[in-house]
A = this chain, B = another copy of it.
Amino acid sequence: MTYCVAIKVDAGLVFCSDSRTNAGVDQVSTYSKMYHFNINNSRQLIITSAGNLATTQAVIARLRKDIKDGATPNLASVENLNEAADYVGEISVAIQEKHANNNTNVSFEASFLLGGQIDQETPGIVLIYPQGNHITTSAHTPYLQIGESKYGKPILDRILKPETGLDTASLCALVSMDSTMRSNLTVGPPIELMTCATDSFFMQHSVFDADNEYLRSLTKSWDKLIVEAFLQLPPVGYIPPQEG
């Protein structure tokens, strides 16, 4: 399994991904699931991936080859994020079908979060399903998730709004990742975080290893704060007086 989240706020974009891959519990490896395409410093695209590792690697290799070959379309030629998503979706479906033909017991499915800024277009993010279609965010749901998404969803719902700052959105992504890692063995460090301020065309990339001091301090603080918050709740059946 995998967990990746992408957030779109007015101030910019945040991407966060784990690095654990597994095929069974005794075949565990570490692979980055975050790919960065910087094209002439005028378009910055980030892709994070979940699902079959052979499929995702083949998709990324094909995307890089198409740019190099000047194929039509490629990530350097698409006019906007929507076209980019259609293009990545088509490649993903083609690669899945190639291998799926004679194999019904294995899933070759993969899903992707794609986002960034293309020229002067508004930055955005999309989720590309294994079937090749895609969705984007809304003001009410300014984030997208792939992989093991349930444990880390509540904090995103509580905190994120379009006007949330990039620092807060980054922190929220890390807390969401922390909750997921705590509850699911197949999601693990290093944790990658990528942020991009609107119109800056500059990506800030951080990697947090398992023994990263900040990540450990975040986990510990959040544990403590949640327990303290719980202890302040009204006891079962007690209705606190209305505040004036």
Contact = CB atoms under 8 A, between A and B. Distances in A.
Interface in A189-244: 193, 206, 213-214, 217-218, 221-223, 225-230, 232-240
A183 B214 contact: no
B239 A217 contact: yes
Contacts of A227: 158-159
A174 interface: yes
Contacts of A236: 167, 170-171, 174, 193, 206, 214
A225 B232 contact: yes
Given A151-B153, A223-B158, A171 B233 contact: yes
A175 interface: yes
Given A217-B239, A236-B167, A150 B183 contact: yes
Interface string A170-187: 111011000100110000
Residue among A193, A232, A237 with most chain B CB within 10 A: A237
A219 to B, nearest CB: 10
Contacts of A155: 226, 230
A157 interface: yes
A214 B239 contact: yes
A175 B235 CA distance: 11
Nearest to A228: B229
Contacts of A217: 234, 239-240
Contacts of A213: 239
Contact of A237 (B214, B234, B237): B214
Given A157-B183, A237-B206, A230 B151 contact: no
Interface of A: 150-151, 153-155, 157-159, 167, 170-172, 174-175, 179, 182-183, 193, 206, 213-214, 217-218, 221-223, 225-230, 232-240
